[in-house]
Structure 1
């Protein structure tokens, strides 16, 4: 198939691109590199002639129109977005324009050219889980940040195109995803930041009391979920969760990563009003509809992520000595 991946140079996007290339498709990757990095896909571009990279912005309507007019796409994976909760609180306009208006631009072209779209949403739209069961797709939503609000707005537009125009659409809500190629600085995820600090002998810093929980999904499992939702007609018009199916407190995660190598500190929360106390995924719908379930447990995923961060540190060290 001819497939467009927006945000394909980002962390999850990189792994979606790899999965699609492994499956033999021809890809067009659109990314403005505001959050993604060309280094994420340079290796993939090096060994495959089935990938074309376009640096551009989903808010650029003319660019999007030209892209869809010049290529007959079979499928669109729409991952491009502003994803940082704190940034959305500080600058909600940027997040809304990227996540809601940008999605509208892509939707319009998918409608005009009859291209199925898989929209990447987030678990951060949910209200907290109950203590007894994981979050299903029917669980109440709570836009506790402009990021969550923008994603809910975009989701509603995506579903409206399914009902109003019969456009094949899928909304995917992966839970907190981690793994190789995730940023290890302030924009990264908690696992990558914790591992990076540990390797550098720095304390692991926890926002608030650390009792908040996360359901942590390894990135290759996430990419397989996203890709399979695009392949499956049974997913059309549906919202699908993906997660490990078990949650862990940030305190326990820090202990698991730090071992006894570095101290653990609690610091003032930067956005307590947007914290979700308990996130735990019920992925039974994805298992039934697209035959997906996770394969990589948390300990194995942390091990793989740590090995990757170590390898990049060694690579950077080698470059500095060349």
Structure 2
């Protein structure tokens, strides 16, 4: 097939591109590199089925030209993803995540291209049941980031119903793995591993009892890709997670193994914290036959191995020193 991945130079986008190329498709990436990195796609630069376009999802001229390529599926991952950034500058997040999504949707409608919309588990209210969060769980837009994503979700589903456009909303839980940034609001696993390698203290926001369901990135990418391949999920919202949660305190212990290297600090945005996140992915299993394959421990081992092997290159790409936050994507 001929496929478009917006945000394909980002962390998850890079792994989605990898999977699609391995499946033999022609893959186009649109990314403005505001969050993504060219190094994420370096190995595909000369791939015969790969094309990269440096552009903005809000640029309707670029989109109009790009969609002349008659895509079969648009994997729409391009977005602003940082919670604190959305609190400090809600306009940018809304423009990218809601307005940008509208412009992409219009092209998908015009050319009848299926859209896979990458949302986030951050739209949910806290989990209060041991069975985990299902797709019918209450939502709570506790940050402009979550609010913009909910707006994007509703637009995507409205196009599915109003125009019979093939569309699916996916809500992966907190994803981690190789190529994730260890700076700014990067993933907590990457940040903790980076601090461990540097011999630094792992600082934890709040009391560290907040929990996250941590999904290894290759499992996430497989879920994203298969949501595009299947017609069974059209018109649906679908979760994906490991199905086990861990507190940030216990994650720090698992990674560094030394209580003396853990320090708690005041949370920078406690109003947007979700205390417990635990995915129920039964719907993904039922409709896609998808289940996670990589355990948290194995995922951490693979991520640490990659970070050690690529430490110089990866750190050169980081723009600022990191801190870990409990609201990772």
Q: After TM superposition, give the deviation of residue 153 of structure 1 in Å.
A: 0.3
Matches within 5 A, 1:210-249: 210-249=208-247
Quick check: 1:179–1:301 contact (8 Å CA) kept in 2? Answer: yes
2:109 corresponding residue in structure 1 = 111
d(CA) in 2 for partners of 1:20 and 1:29? 11
Q: Could you state the TM-score of these two structures normalised by the residue count of structure 2?
A: 0.94
| 1:24 is aligned to 2:24 | yes
d(CA) in 2 for partners of 1:164 and 1:260? 55
Secondary structure at 1:76 match in 2: strand
2:319 corresponding residue in structure 1 = none
Moved more, 256-265 or 137-146: 256-265
2:186 corresponding residue in structure 1 = 188
d(CA) in 2 for partners of 1:204 and 1:36? 25
2:87 corresponding residue in structure 1 = 89
Quick check: 1:198–1:262 contact (8 Å CA) kept in 2? Answer: no
Q: After TM superposition, give the deviation of residue 123 of structure 1 in Å.
A: 0.1
Q: After TM superposition, give the deviation of residue 186 of structure 1 in Å.
A: 1.5
d(CA) in 1 for partners of 2:119 and 2:31? 17
Structure-2 change in CA distance of 1:11 and 1:316 (3 Å): closer
d(CA) in 1 for partners of 2:226 and 2:129? 30
Quick check: 1:178–1:192 contact (8 Å CA) kept in 2? Answer: yes
Q: Could you state the TM-score of these two structures normalised by the residue count of structure 1?
A: 0.96
Deviations 1:158-201 (A, max 9, x none): 00000000000010000000000000111311000000000000
Matches within 5 A, 1:81-230: 81-230=79-228
d(CA) in 2 for partners of 1:106 and 1:266? 41
Q: After TM superposition, give the deviation of residue 260 of structure 1 in Å.
A: 2.7
d(CA) in 2 for partners of 1:302 and 1:316? 17
Q: After TM superposition, give the deviation of residue 315 of structure 1 in Å.
A: 5.2
Secondary structure at 2:299 match in 1: helix
2:253 corresponding residue in structure 1 = 255
Question: Where do 5+ consecutive residues of structure 2 fail to align?
Answer: 317-329
Q: CA RMSD in A?
A: 1.3
Question: Where do 5+ consecutive residues of structure 1 fail to align?
Answer: none
